[in-house]
Amino acid sequence: MSEIHKTAIVDPKATIGENCKIGPYCIISKDVKLGSNNNLTSNVVIDGNTTIGNGNNFFHSSVIGTDSQDLKYKGDPTKLIIGNNNTFREFCTVNKSATMDEPTQIGNNCLLMAYTHVAHNCILGNHIIMANAVNLAGHIHIHDNVIIGGMVAMHQFVKIGTFSFIGGKSGVKKDVPPYVRGEGFPFVTAGLNTVGLRRSGFSKSQIKSIKDIYKLFYHSGLNVTDAFKKAKKLDNISKEQQVFMNFVQDSDRGICK
């Protein structure tokens, strides 16, 4: 049985799972599907065609599933899908998608700190940390295990590779490859996220293979096209190197310097 505060407004058509706590002055709209063991502290708004998994925490005044701010949005019943065990801190905002073909998505075990914003059609993986006041424009894709420092702004359609680290106050206009760290406005790489890789259990041999592919793309003097051609000819390409190469191949905006 869920616990719903007497001042909360929950549309009778909304789906509320077991053992949820819905605090004072929260508002849940009719098309919301809320799983089990979710906690809404106070003044939380969950709107739109929004599906939420289990064990999520929504702090004071977070606003989830509202309409896209894209001027091309025409009121279609677009979607937002959120997984399990995520935390949305105070005044966090997440918009549903602007188009029917691609819902806004957030995976599992993510932490979105205060004043973060996730715009329409963004896709966030698992184990992502976004520090205070990170702002994502539309159609951004962030892979698993990424850490983003405070007050970072990201251009629309940017892709962020797995296990990368984005320093605070950066402006990201191009795709950030897996495993790298950097900062700046515009963002530039400063090397590999070696500390993060070690903490995540990467072996010395795995980190060495990542260093080798990184050097090829960033310290060989080759342009991206030629570096990629050379990378394909490497012997015994590791899983991590293949992840790096696949990301570069799929990059639409080009990788950052």
Q: What is the pLDDT along the chain (257 residues), one digit of tens a residue?
A: 899 999 999 999 999 999 999 999 999 999 999 999 999 999 999 999 999 999 999 999 999 999 999 999 999 999 999 999 999 999 999 999 999 999 999 999 999 999 999 999 999 999 999 999 999 999 999 999 999 999 999 999 999 999 999 999 999 999 999 999 999 999 999 999 999 999 999 999 999 999 999 999 999 999 999 999 999 999 999 999 999 999 999 999 999 99
The residue range of the domain holding 99 is 3-139
Q: What is the pLDDT of residues 20-64, one digit of tens each?
A: 999 999 999 999 999 999 999 999 999 999 999 999 999 999 999
Domain presence at residue 189: no
Do the domain assignments include residue 165?
no
Question: Does any domain span residue 61?
Answer: yes
Residue 223 lies in a domain: yes
Does residue 90 sit in the same domain as residue 209? no
| Same-domain check for residues 15 and 115 | yes
The C-alpha atoms of residue 28 and residue 72 are separated, in whole angstroms, by 26
Residues 28 and 134 in one domain: yes
Q: What is the DSSP letter of 16?
A: E
Within this chain, do residues 208 and 109 fall inside the same structural domain, yes or no?
Answer: no
Whether residue 175 is contained in a domain is answered as no
202-222 per-residue burial string, b: 16 or more CB within 10 A, e: under 16: beeebbebbbebbebbbeeee
Strand arrangement of the beta sheet that strand 117-118 belongs to: 9-10, 27-28, 45-46, 63-66, 93-95, 117-118, 135-136, 153-154, 171-172
Does residue 28 sit in the same domain as residue 122? yes
Number of domains in the chain: 2
Does one domain contain both 131 and 11?
yes
- Rounded to whole angstroms, the maximal C-alpha distance in the chain is 66
Whether 14 and 117 map to the same domain: the answer is yes
179 in a structural domain: no
Q: Is residue 168 part of a domain?
A: no
User: What pLDDT shows up at residue 240?
Assistant: 98
Same structural domain for residues 13 and 81?
Answer: yes
Please report, for the domain that includes residue 18, its CATH number. 2.160.10.10
- Shared domain for 14 and 115, answered yes or no, is yes
- Give the residue from 105, 139, 173 where a domain finishes: 139
Q: Tell me, yes or no, whether 182 lies in a domain.
A: no
Co-location of 133 and 244 in the same domain: no
**Residue 145, token pair as written in the block:** 């295990």
Q: What is the pLDDT of residue 25?
A: 98
Q: Of 119, 139, 159, which residue is a domain's last?
A: 139
Q: Are residues 133 and 204 in the same domain?
A: no
CA distance 105 to 84: 12
Q: Domain containing 225 — which CATH number?
A: 1.20.1180
**End residue of a domain, out of 102, 121, 139:** 139
Same domain, 19 and 120: yes
**Mean of all residue pLDDT scores within the chain:** 98
